[in-house]
Amino acid sequence: MEKNNIDTFEDLLLKSIENVEWYWKVVNEDLGIKWREPFNKVVDVQKGLPWCEWFVGGKCNIIDNIIQSNLNKHPYKTAFIFVNQDGIKEKLNFKELELKVNVFASALRDIGVKKGDVVGIYLPMRMESFVAIYAISKLGAVHVPIFFRFW
């Protein structure tokens, strides 16, 4: 808010409603999202609001923004904490997370998964499920979680 000379949350809310394109461009800049190909328009509502397109023309990958950027800055900082149903906690730093994601992505690539493919994930809520999601994303494929069960 300071960078954009906005005094109150109410002022920010009003400006975000009045100028949606400005707001999401500022959010994107503030978060430092890295784009493999820059977007040329923040939002396109020509087809109507339910079918609007965001960050038109841009391409990014979650791995660049979540793992890679943090790996370069602080590889041994905790990246991921998972607590299972029994209360057992597992932690991974960015270096460990990158290794697990790369191993999983390599295995997926070996069986033919490629950019644009859709991959269903049928795993219980475990740390490995999240590694799988990142690995699928790294390849540019789409993950579809299939819930194992609800507790």
> pLDDT per residue over 62-111, tens digit each?
899 989 889 989 999 999 899 988 888 999 999 999 999 999 999 999 99
The whole-model pTM stands at 0.76
Looking at the domain 62-145, which fold is it?
Answer: Rossmann fold (3.40.50)
Mean pLDDT of 27-48: 93
Q: How far apart are CA 89 and CA 67, in angstroms?
A: 20
User: Does 39 have pLDDT greater than 90?
Assistant: yes
Q: How far apart are CA 45 and CA 57, in angstroms?
A: 14
Other C-beta atoms within 10 Å of 140: how many? Answer: 14
User: Does 125 have pLDDT greater than 80?
Assistant: no
For the chain, the domains span 9-56, 62-145
End-to-end CA distance of the chain: 40
Give the residue among 92, 97, 72 at the shortest CA–CA distance from 82: 92
User: Does 123 have pLDDT greater than 80?
Assistant: no
Mean pLDDT of 106-122: 95
Other C-beta atoms within 10 Å of 131: how many? Answer: 22
User: Does 151 have pLDDT greater than 60?
Assistant: no
Q: How far apart are CA 127 and CA 90, in angstroms?
A: 8
